[in-house]
Amino acid sequence: MAQQPEGPSVRLLRVGEQVRHVLSEILTRGDVHDDVLASHVVSVTEVRMSPDLRHATVFVKSLLGHDEEAVLKALRTNTAYLQREVAHRISLKYAAKLKFLADESFDEGSHIDRLLRDPKVLRDLEKPQDD
């Protein structure tokens, strides 16, 4: 009996990457007529597709993290337009429903970096190891 692979399939990853590219292009070109999106640089960091390809969770980060809530609200307001554009540019059986979330991975990485630079942690890391 073959063991099931862990994580998303190659197809899910490929489609997610296609959706990410399309959304990035739309936002970069300013195709969405929204003042908030026009005044912010938004990076689409990752898109995770559901196994049936009907839902896409889109992780975004505004440049330097400024006005993240306003950017998310603007994206959510323009979801119908973005869904239509993605469906038009990527030929799938169903138009994926988009759900926008803030990408917190950068914040987590910064937090871990700060912890590792803490003098107490550095002191513990520099202690000689007993073999």
Look up the CATH number of the domain holding residue 38: 3.30.300.20
The answer to the question of residue 114 being in a domain is no
The answer to the question of residue 117 being in a domain is no
The number of folded domains in the chain is: 1
pTM as predicted? 0.74
Please state, in angstroms and rounded to a whole number, the distance separating the CA atoms of residues 118 and 116.
Answer: 6
Q: What distance separates the 2 farthest-apart alpha carbons in the chain?
A: 64
pLDDT by residue for the chain (131 residues), tens only, comes to 455 556 678 989 999 999 999 999 999 998 999 999 998 899 999 999 999 999 999 999 988 667 889 999 999 999 999 999 999 999 877 889 999 999 887 655 565 666 667 777 667 667 665 55
Phi first, then psi: give them for residue 32, nearest 5 degrees. -85, 125
The answer to the question of residue 108 being in a domain is no
State which residues form the domain around 63: 10-103
The answer to the question of residue 93 being in a domain is yes
The answer to the question of residue 81 being in a domain is yes
